[in-house]
């Protein structure tokens, strides 16, 4: 059986799930302050050591300082994304995922034993560093090990685990929203971090990364392990040719033996690599771009100098910025106020958890649909739906229709979850040629965290000034993004990365 026809080989799914444990930790980091927030910064005894002889009961903060402390993990995420391409390229995807867990462990310790707001904030920043680097490394790794037919569902695992982390942090936060148990609530993020660091020893490195490092024999063995009982020859040839381009005929030799590294791979195939990939027309059909003459990793600056890669980069940046400028985090923030306008405090708290549960359900639906209906359809549906429910939020707020407001929040979250939530992260690795993956992932993650931080800063001010009319702005952004997606974002379902690049090359390529 041709490995390109496989969907979900067991070992590949295992590696994907292990890699996405970091996404669970990210979700926990995001959701952990939600329920125990008052116990953390607004308890009755303040700095007094009533429940502990060496730690204060809580860390008194006003709303502004608390908001900054909670959102400070975005600063860590931004910092990590700025420099994340370096460890991905130098250390590899697997080692980066292992080392990345250090930030969560340090952050958990600092927050659990924090004696003031500064220590709490520094702990959140450390957790944010792991969130930022983890988001980059996870999506890159999963995209590079997944089968062509199962890449959509595997790529969606990242967002699914984030949502599960948020929901579980809210549920477990209910009994821990007391003094001094709030400290344990934040410290628990170290548990999945340690588990992932241990389990990653059972996973393999990305075969595409190994090819980019000229470790071809090892890459072939790794790909075979990820695709058991399948013929990986053609898939491997596509990976090599996609990265080598015009150099496919210059087959490298093993530095130790002097033997042709690809020779064993050519046995049993009807054509050699040079025959298989001869001619520009044949190359385009299998995703080989003749001008790709080097496997050397691109820097962030080089992304904007290469015509085709530049277009891909702008597409990726557009999707990541749209994800955050949809104001999903603002809607989640505003949901508490909406629910309190119609229900009592306890009911509102459970409805907020219900919103997270709906997010999980819709994300699961997206995982099921992604490889059936495609990325473009779900993205367009998601953005158009979110735009519509921004409008209903404005109407419900203006005419004080509480039921419409509540329904709009739930439906907005559902719309976001089926497309804008997981697809920008997943499609980044599907659009990026391997030699540009680290830098493109880094700049995309940087843009995502930057917009996340900006929305976190401006949204409360917008709400104070414009109330529900704030969503007119986000509705307009979503309307424009829907049109841009229809016009410029390609479908990647069922296509190898090399073929997606070849299609961009045909449309936007030419003289550099």
Six-digit token string for 221:
């063995």
pLDDT, tens only, 79-109: 998 888 899 999 999 999 999 999 999 999 9
Most confident region among 285-294, 372-381, 451-460 by mean pLDDT: 372-381
As a 3-state breakdown, the chain gives helix, strand, coil percent values, each rounded to 5, of 75, 0, 25
**How far is 287 from 29, CA to CA, in rounded Å?**
39
Q: For position 391, what pLDDT does the model report?
A: 95
Six-digit token string for 176:
């821990």
Q: For position 454, what pLDDT does the model report?
A: 85
What is the DSSP secondary structure assignment for residue 245, as one 8-state letter? G
Cβ 466 vs Cβ 191: under 8 Å: no
Q: For position 245, what pLDDT does the model report?
A: 56
Answer positive or negative: Cα dihedral of 97, 100, 104, 106. positive
Model confidence at 333, in pLDDT bands (50, 70, 90)?
low
CATH fold label, 298-512? Growth Hormone; Chain: A; (1.20.1250)
Lowest mean pLDDT among 150-159, 198-207, 308-317, 377-386: 150-159
Three-state secondary-structure class, residue 107: helix
Instruction: Give yes or no for residue 141 having a pLDDT over 90.
Output: yes
Instruction: Give yes or no for residue 113 having a pLDDT over 50.
Output: yes
Cβ 287 vs Cβ 235: under 8 Å: no
Six-digit token string for 139:
């999506």
Three-state secondary-structure class, residue 179: coil
What is the DSSP secondary structure assignment for residue 43, as one 8-state letter? -
**How far is 378 from 300, CA to CA, in rounded Å?**
29
* Distances 124 to 323, 333, 463 between C-alpha atoms, Å: 22, 19, 25
Q: Do domains 1-213 and 298-512 have the same CATH topology?
A: yes
Answer positive or negative: Cα dihedral of 20, 26, 31, 37. positive
* Distances 132 to 46, 83, 419, 434 between C-alpha atoms, Å: 32, 10, 21, 20
Percent of the chain with pLDDT over 70: 88
Angle between helices 375-398 and 423-431 (to 10 degrees): 150
- pTM for the model stands at 0.83
pLDDT, tens only, 259-312: 444 444 444 333 333 333 333 343 333 333 444 444 578 889 999 999 999 999
Q: Superfamily assignment of 1-213 in CATH? A: MFS general substrate transporter like domains (1.20.1250.20)
Mean pLDDT of the chain: 86
More confident residue, 489 or 263: 489
- Identify the CA nearest to 85 among candidates 212, 238, 242, 236: 212
Instruction: Give yes or no for residue 6 having a pLDDT over 60.
Output: yes
Instruction: Give yes or no for residue 383 having a pLDDT over 70.
Output: yes
Instruction: Give yes or no for residue 249 having a pLDDT over 50.
Output: no
Q: Where are the domains of the chain?
A: 1-213, 298-512
């Amino acid at each position: 059986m041709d490995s390109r026809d496989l969907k979900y080989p067991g070992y590949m799914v295992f590696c994907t799930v292990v890699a996405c444990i970091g996404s669970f930790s990210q979700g926990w980091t995001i959701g952990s302050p939600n329920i125990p927030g008052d116990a953390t910064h607004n308890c009755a005894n303040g700095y007094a050591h009533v429940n502990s002889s060496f730690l204060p009961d809580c860390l008194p903060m006003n709303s502004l300082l608390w908001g900054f402390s909670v959102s400070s993990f975005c600063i860590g995420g931004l910092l990590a994304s700025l420099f994340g391409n370096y460890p991905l390229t130098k250390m590899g995807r697997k080692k980066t995922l292992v080392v990345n867990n250090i930030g969560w462990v340090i952050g958990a310790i600092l927050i659990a034993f924090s004696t003031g707001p500064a220590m709490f904030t520094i702990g959140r920043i450390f957790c944010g560093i792991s969130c930022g680097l983890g988001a980059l490394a996870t999506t890159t790794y999963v995209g590079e090990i997944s089968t062509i037919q199962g890449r959509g569902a595997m790529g969606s695992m990242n967002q699914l685990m984030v949502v599960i982390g948020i929901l579980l942090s809210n549920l477990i936060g209910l009994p821990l929203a007391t003094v001094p148990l709030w400290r344990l609530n934040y410290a628990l993020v170290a548990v999945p971090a340690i588990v992932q660091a241990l389990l990653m020893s059972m996973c393999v490195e990305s075969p595409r990364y190994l090819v980019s490092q000229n470790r071809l024999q090892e890459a072939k063995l790794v790909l075979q392990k990820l695709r058991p009982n399948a013929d990986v020859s053609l898939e491997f040839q596509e990976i090599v040719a996609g990265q080598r381009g015009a150099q496919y005929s210059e087959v490298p030799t093993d530095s130790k033996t002097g033997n042709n590294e690809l020779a064993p791979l050519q046995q049993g195939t009807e054509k050699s690599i040079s025959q298989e990939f001869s001619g520009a027309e044949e190359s385009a059909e299998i995703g080989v771009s003749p001008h790709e003459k080097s496997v050397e990793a691109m820097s962030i600056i080089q992304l904007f100098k290469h015509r085709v890669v530049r277009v891909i980069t702008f597409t990726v940046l557009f999707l990541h910025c749209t994800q955050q400028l949809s104001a999903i985090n603002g809607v989640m923030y505003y949901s508490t106020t909406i629910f309190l306008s119609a229900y009592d405090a306890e009911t509102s708290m459970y409805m907020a958890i219900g919103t997270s549960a709906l997010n999980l359900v819709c994300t699961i639906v997206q995982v099921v649909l992604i490889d059936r209906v495609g990325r473009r359809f779900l993205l367009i549906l998601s953005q158009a739906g979110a735009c519509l429910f921004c409008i209903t939020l404005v109407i419900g707020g203006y005419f004080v229709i509480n039921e419409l407001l509540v329904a709009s929040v739930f439906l907005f979250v559902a719309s976001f979850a089926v497309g804008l939530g997981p697809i920008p992260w997943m499609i980044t690795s599907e659009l990026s040629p391997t030699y540009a993956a680290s830098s493109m992932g880094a700049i995309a993650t940087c843009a995502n965290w930057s917009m996340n931080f900006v929305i976190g800063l401006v949204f409360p001010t917008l709400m104070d000034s414009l109330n529900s009319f704030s969503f007119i702005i986000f509705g307009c952004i979503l309307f424009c993004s829907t049109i841009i997606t229809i016009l410029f974002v390609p479908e990647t379902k069922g296509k190898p990365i090399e073929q997606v690049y070849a299609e961009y090359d045909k449309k936007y390529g030419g003289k550099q």
